[in-house]
Amino acid sequence: MASNSLITLITGGNSGIGKSLAGLLVADANRHVIITSRSIDKGNAAVEEIKGLKQPGKIEMVQLDLTVPSSITALAKDIETRYGRLDALVNNAAIADFPPNTPLPERMETSFKANVTGPLLMLEAFWPLLMKSTTTPRIINHSSGAGSMQIVKNMPDWAFGEVPIPYFSSKAALNMVSCSWMLGHRGEDYKMFTYCPGFTESNLGPHNKLANGAKPVVEGARPMVAILDGEKDAEHGGFLNHEGGQHPW
């Protein structure tokens, strides 16, 4: 099935900021948004919620577990077969929270598989399809100020118990995925952004609540619409924050 719309793939689109972004993007009749979900039930529920917004853009869901490389290559094959190209990739999904007493090696391994290796494998698998985009392909690697050496070194305090080192270090590694990807693809026709939404309401962890000072989910998601619409193309390669500025690496 060919599509004339801008095909936009958002990992982890069944929840939080990814789902909110999908809901914003379908306001554009020219967007065809594909969200990924580990759970088919959660993904279907998100699609129903987004369809309930009665917006003109298209929405669909595909199953994906970023910790399973074959899941990524199978999805790339599926998108290639059905659409032949991809116009935008939002490497949004991540894990930060684990059940109590999860051993540190497991927290480190899963965080890196989901938050670093998975997004890199997504870039590898979807790059050929992004290069077939009929417009300038745009990529967002959804990171965090928690992955910035300078921000973490200068944090006055951490209010939420044990510092989640697996999450912080995985986001720092994701930042290097962005920078080194760009080094290997200089001069090619695409735009890549690393993005931090700031502290936002979501299911990322137990503290991501409005009552703890998190901002409404849509405020973390909305700046990515402008990025995907090309309004930030002049900042290609930057570590953009939700306030319209840039974070230090």
Q: Dihedral sign for Cα 30, 36, 42, 44, please.
A: positive
State in angstroms the smallest separation of the CB of 45 from ligand NAP. 10
- By CB under 6 A, the count of residues binding ligand NAP is 29
Q: What amino acid occupies position 157?
A: D
From residue 125 to residue 144, what is the string marking binding to ligand NAP with x (rule CB under 6 A)?
-----------------x-x
> Are β-strands 239-241 and 58-63 bridged in parallel, bridged antiparallel, or unpaired?
unpaired
State in angstroms the smallest separation of the CB of 189 from ligand NAP. 26
Q: Nearest to ligand NAP by Cβ — which residue?
A: 16
List the one residue from 8, 15, 111, 178 that touches ligand NAP (CB under 6 A).
Answer: 15
- The verdict on 242 binding ligand NAP (CB under 6 A) reads no
**Can you tell me the distance from the alpha carbon of 159 to that of 79, in angstroms, rounded to the nearest whole number?**
42
Helical residues (DSSP H) of the chain, grouped into ranges: 16-25, 40-51, 69-83, 104-112, 118-130, 149-153, 165-184, 217-228
Between 127 and 168, whose beta carbon lies closer to ligand NAP?
Answer: 168
- The verdict on 114 binding ligand NAP (CB under 6 A) reads yes
- The verdict on 151 binding ligand NAP (CB under 6 A) reads no
Give the three-state DSSP class for 235.
helix
Q: What amino acid occupies position 107?
A: R
From residue 60 to residue 99, what is the string marking binding to ligand NAP with x (rule CB under 6 A)?
----xxxx------------------------xxxx----
- The stretch near ligand NAP (CB under 6 A) out of 26-34, 59-67, 76-84, 179-187 is 59-67
Q: Which residue has the tokens 């992955």?
A: 147
Name every residue whose Cβ is closer than 8 Å to that of residue 160 and which is 6 or more positions away in sequence.
Answer: 205, 207, 212
> Are β-strands 239-241 and 191-196 bridged in parallel, bridged antiparallel, or unpaired?
parallel
Binding footprint of ligand NAP on the chain (CB under 6 A): 11-12, 14-18, 38-39, 42, 64-67, 92-95, 114, 142, 144, 196-197, 199-200, 202-204, 208
